[in-house]
C-alpha cells in the first residue's frame, strides 16, 4: 500500500502546483483586462445593435468582471496548455516530447477557433432568434448588460473549451490513457453528457440553444475518436508490467518443478 500511495501523492501534489500556477496567471491577466473592460463590452455587444442598460447599481460592475475574466482566460491559455503538457509529459516517450510547441500552437488555435465560431455563427443566431421572437409579439428589446454579458460569456467559454476536445482526446490516446475502442463504446454516453452539459451551460435551456451547443460537442467528440485512431498507442509501462507479471508466473512454476526430489526407487 505505501508503494501505491507514494506515486499517487506525488501526482496529486504536482497537479495542485500546476493548478496554482494557472490560477495565478489567470488572476494577473484578469486584473489587466479589467482596465480595458469598456472596450471589451463595446466589442461584446456587436451582435446586438441597441444600447445595453443596467437595472441595479452593481450590474455594470459585475458585467465588467465577467467579461474581464473571459479575456483573462483567453490571454492565459498558452500557460494553461503548457501546464497541461508538463503534467502528461512524463507519460510520453522522448521523441514525443518534442511536440510541445506545435501542440501549444494547435491548442491555442482550437480555442480561438471555438471563440470565433461561437461569436460569428452561434451567438448571432441565438440572439436574433430570441430578439425576433419578442419583436414578433410587439415587445421592444431592452437587454440588461449583466444578463447579456453572462449569456455571451457562457457560450464563448463553452465553445472555446469544447474545441479542445479532439486535441485532448488525441493526446490521451497517444499517452495510452484511452483507447479508440473505449471511445466508440461510450459514444452514446458522450452524446447524453453533451445534452446534459448543454442544458446546464445554456442560460435559458431551451431546445434550440441546447441543440446549438450539443451538436457541435457531439461532432467534436467524433473528431476526437478519429484523432485517437490516428495517434493511439499502448502505454509502454503497462506492457512492461504485464510482461513482468507473466515472467513471475513462469518462474515459480519452473522452480516448483525443480524442487521436487528425484525418485530413487526407495518407495517401490
Give me the residues paired with residue 53 across strands: 144
Predicted pLDDT of residue 28: 95
End-to-end CA distance of the chain: 50
pLDDT at residue 29 greater than cutoff 90: yes
pLDDT at residue 27 greater than cutoff 90: yes
* Residue whose entry in the numeric block shows the C-alpha cell 471563440: 115
Q: What are phi and psi of 223, to 5 degrees?
A: -65, -35
**Three-state DSSP class for residue 144:** strand
Most confident of 128-132, 164-168, 248-252: 164-168
CA–CA separation, 66 and 54 (whole Å) = 15
Predicted pLDDT of residue 203: 64
Predicted pLDDT of residue 52: 84
pLDDT at residue 246 greater than cutoff 50: no
Q: How far is the CA of 116 from the CAs of 123, 133, 159, in angstroms?
A: 10, 25, 9
Predicted pLDDT of residue 242: 45
pTM for this model (two decimals): 0.68
Cα 248 off chain centre by: 40
Q: What is the mean pLDDT of residues 31-38?
A: 91
pLDDT at residue 258 greater than cutoff 70: no
Predicted pLDDT of residue 264: 52
Q: 257 pLDDT band (50/70/90 cuts)?
A: very low
As a whole-number percent, the residues of the chain with pLDDT over 90 amount to: 14
Q: Encode pLDDT of 52-96 as tens digits.
A: 888 888 888 888 998 898 889 888 888 887 888 778 777 766 766
Domain locations in the chain as residue ranges: 1-163, 177-238
More reliable by pLDDT, 139 or 159: 159
Which among 194, 55, 47 is positioned nearest to 129, based on CA atoms? 47
Q: 125 pLDDT band (50/70/90 cuts)?
A: confident
pLDDT at residue 267 greater than cutoff 50: no
As a whole-number percent, the residues of the chain with pLDDT over 70 amount to: 81
Torsion sign, CA atoms 197, 198, 204, 206: negative
Which among 162, 222, 164 is positioned nearest to 198, based on CA atoms? 162
Average pLDDT taken over every residue of the chain: 79
Q: 108 pLDDT band (50/70/90 cuts)?
A: confident
More reliable by pLDDT, 159 or 47: 159
Q: What is the mean pLDDT of residues 122-143?
A: 83
CA–CA separation, 170 and 224 (whole Å) = 6
Q: What is the mean pLDDT of residues 10-26?
A: 89
CA–CA separation, 202 and 213 (whole Å) = 8
Amino acid at each position: 500500500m505505501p508503494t501505491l500511495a507514494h506515486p499517487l501523492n506525488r501526482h496529486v501534489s504536482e497537479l495542485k502546483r500546476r493548478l496554482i500556477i494557472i490560477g495565478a496567471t489567470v488572476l494577473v491577466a484578469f486584473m489587466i483586462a479589467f482596465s480595458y473592460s469598456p472596450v471589451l463590452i463595446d466589442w461584446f455587444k456587436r451582435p446586438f445593435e441597441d444600447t445595453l442598460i443596467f437595472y441595479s447599481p452593481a450590474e455594470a460592475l459585475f458585467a465588467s468582471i465577467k467579461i474581464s475574466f473571459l479575456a483573462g482566460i483567453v490571454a492565459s491559455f498558452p500557460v494553461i496548455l503548457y501546464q497541461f503538457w508538463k503534467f502528461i509529459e512524463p507519460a510520453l516517450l522522448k521523441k514525443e516530447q518534442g511536440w510541445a510547441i506545435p501542440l501549444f500552437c494547435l491548442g491555442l488555435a482550437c480555442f480561438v477557433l471555438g471563440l470565433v465560431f461561437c461569436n460569428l455563427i452561434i451567438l448571432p443566431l441565438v440572439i436574433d432568434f430570441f430578439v425576433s421572437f419578442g419583436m414578433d409579439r410587439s415587445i421592444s428589446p431592452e437587454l440588461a448588460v449583466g444578463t447579456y454579458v453572462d449569456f455571451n460569456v457562457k457560450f464563448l467559454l463553452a465553445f472555446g473549451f469544447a474545441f479542445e476536445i479532439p486535441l485532448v482526446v488525441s493526446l490521451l490516446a497517444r499517452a495510452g490513457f484511452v483507447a479508440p475502442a473505449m471511445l466508440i463504446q461510450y459514444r452514446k454516453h458522450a452524446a447524453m453528457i453533451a445534452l446534459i452539459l448543454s442544458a446546464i451551460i445554456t442560460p435559458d435551456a431551451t431546445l434550440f440553444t441546447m441543440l446549438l451547443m450539443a451538436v457541435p460537442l457531439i461532432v467534436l467528440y467524433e473528431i476526437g475518436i478519429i484523432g485517437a485512431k490516428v495517434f493511439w498507442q499502448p502505454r509502454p509501462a503497462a506492457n512492461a508490467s504485464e510482461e513482468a507479471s507473466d515472467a513471475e508466473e513462469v518462474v515459480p512454476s519452473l522452480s516448483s518443478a525443480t524442487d521436487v526430489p528425484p525418485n530413487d526407487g526407495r518407495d517401490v
